[in-house]
Amino acid sequence: MSKHNINHVNNRKKVYRSILICMLFLNIVGIIYFQKKNLDSQLPNNIKMIVDKKEEFDFDLPMSAKISTQEVGVLSVNNKKIPDNQIDISFSKPFSIVSSEVGQYTIDVKLFGLIDYKQINVDVIESVELIPSGIPIGIYVETDGIMVLGTSPIPSTDGLNYEPAVNILKSGDYITEINGNAINDKEELIEEVQKSDGKDMTFTLTRNKKEIDVKIKPIMSNDGKYKIGAWIRDDTQGIGTLTYIDSTGKFGALGHGITDIDTNLLMNIKEGSVHTAKIMQIVKGKSGAPGELVGLINQTEEEKVGDIKINSKQGIFGNLEGQFRELTNLEPMKIGLKQDVKLGKAYVRCMVENEVKDYEIQIEKIELNSSNVSKGLVIRITDERLINITNGIVQGMSGSPIIQDNKIIGAVTHVFIQDSTKGYGTFIENMLKTVE
């Protein structure tokens, strides 16, 4: 074999060796990534505990941890009072923790007892009881400012198209003032634009929680009206399910936030109200098309039963009026924390047969650290009664409380588009954290 051929073969060997080394490196990185993701799904970032209630944990992971507290003698681990303010525990075998006082603690976790891995925050809270509702409600909210959905061209009187707001207004902006004057609804905005006579206008916006001013010059459209070329919205309404009521009349509903249907962004609300609602029709879910509870919202002042104070990724929250609280006629339950939730049988409470009923489900997956807080549970409807009526989970059932072992543990949030018998749920402690 010639020297040239030998060099060629050696070069090819070097290339193959480099490729194999790269593939091995990528495999190792992939294994580490998926192992870390698996560990994160088993190990929560936050743990809530009830004061004076023993909490059992069995992570079965090759980790050790150190609990830090400023209060000496408050915590007990495995039924032994710990006199020191730092407690060592092993995550490779079951253990229990009890706190005699409300407070906050940190758990520093080490992989194999050597490598710093993560910090878990522990909140010890008073015992909480809630009334799991399941009653459909009508929801009406007004945005805090005029929400911008997008921009569009304007056919002008000169036969050309203009886009005065393009690259100035963005989807998700909220217009709060024009030329220094507060704007309360889209009718006021349209009126101010008409009065501009085509002169530059200063729009005050809220964008990413910051206030900014922009200038836009309205264009006269071919219908003789001044326009800025923006799609806007200032209110929305729909049907949802009331998740819980507490002893003071505060409520949580939906389990996920109210988002704009066009931009899919969480809406900033100025005010909102809850009304009685009547389910008129049930559209069954099918593969590729979620079903729906079609209802009539009694949007009168007489049928208003509460106020919405918060719209968050974990749902809507506010206060109910006493009369509606009495109509629920349901018994309170203790809450079940994340560590209380188990795979297997549970129940979802909803009202699809003109009365509140509990329907059997299976909890198929528990994701303690889901990147989407409203998707911590995967559930499947198994009760034939509910399947016959709705084919599973339908739009409008969001907020239906999930009950296991006679505790309220969460709420339904989403349906699987390709399989309406399955969907997501959120943990009840996530909803309560929003109120806190």
Q: pLDDT at position 12, please?
A: 67
User: What CATH number does the domain located at 130-139+235-435 have?
Assistant: 2.40.10.120
- State yes or no: is 256 an active-site residue: yes
Identify which has the larger pLDDT, 218 or 434. Answer: 218
Identify which has the larger pLDDT, 131 or 36. Answer: 131
Q: What are phi and psi of 199, to 5 degrees?
A: -90, 155
Query: If DSSP codes are grouped into helix, strand and coil, which group holds residue 154?
Result: strand
Q: What is the mean pLDDT of residues 346-361?
A: 94
Question: Residue 346 forms beta bridges with which residues?
Answer: 361
Summarised one tens digit per residue, pLDDT across range 181-223 is 999 888 999 999 999 989 999 999 999 889 999 999 999 999 9
CATH class of this structure's domain 153-228: mainly beta
The strands making up 80-81's β-sheet, listed across from edge to edge, are 55-57, 95-99, 75-77, 80-81
Q: pLDDT at position 314, please?
A: 93
Note whether 46-127 and 130-139+235-435 share their fold.
no
| Catalytically annotated residue among 99, 256, 312, 414 | 256
| Catalytically annotated residue among 370, 374, 398, 420 | 398
Q: pTM of the entire structure?
A: 0.83
DSSP, residue by residue, 35-103: HHHHHHHHS-SEEEEETT--EEE----SEEEEEE-SSTT-EEETTEE--SSEEEEETTS-EEEEESS-E
When pLDDT is cut at 50, 70 and 90, the band that residue 327 belongs to is low
* Dihedral angle over CA of 42, 46, 49, 51, nearest 10: 150
What integer best gives the mean pLDDT of the chain?
86
Q: pLDDT at position 9, please?
A: 53
- Inform me whether the pLDDT recorded for 268 exceeds 80: yes
Domain locations along the chain: 1-42, 46-127, 130-139+235-435, 153-228
- State yes or no: is 398 an active-site residue: yes
- Inform me whether the pLDDT recorded for 308 exceeds 70: yes
Summarised one tens digit per residue, pLDDT across range 48-87 is 888 888 888 888 888 888 776 666 567 777 777 666 666 7
Identify which has the larger pLDDT, 282 or 434. Answer: 282
- State yes or no: is 371 an active-site residue: no
- 46-127 belongs to which homologous superfamily? Immunoglobulins (2.60.40.10)
Q: 177-206: string of b/e by CB count within 10 Å (b at 16+)?
A: bbeeeebeebeebbebbeebeeeebebbbb
The answer to which of 7-11, 90-94, 120-124 has the lowest mean pLDDT is 7-11
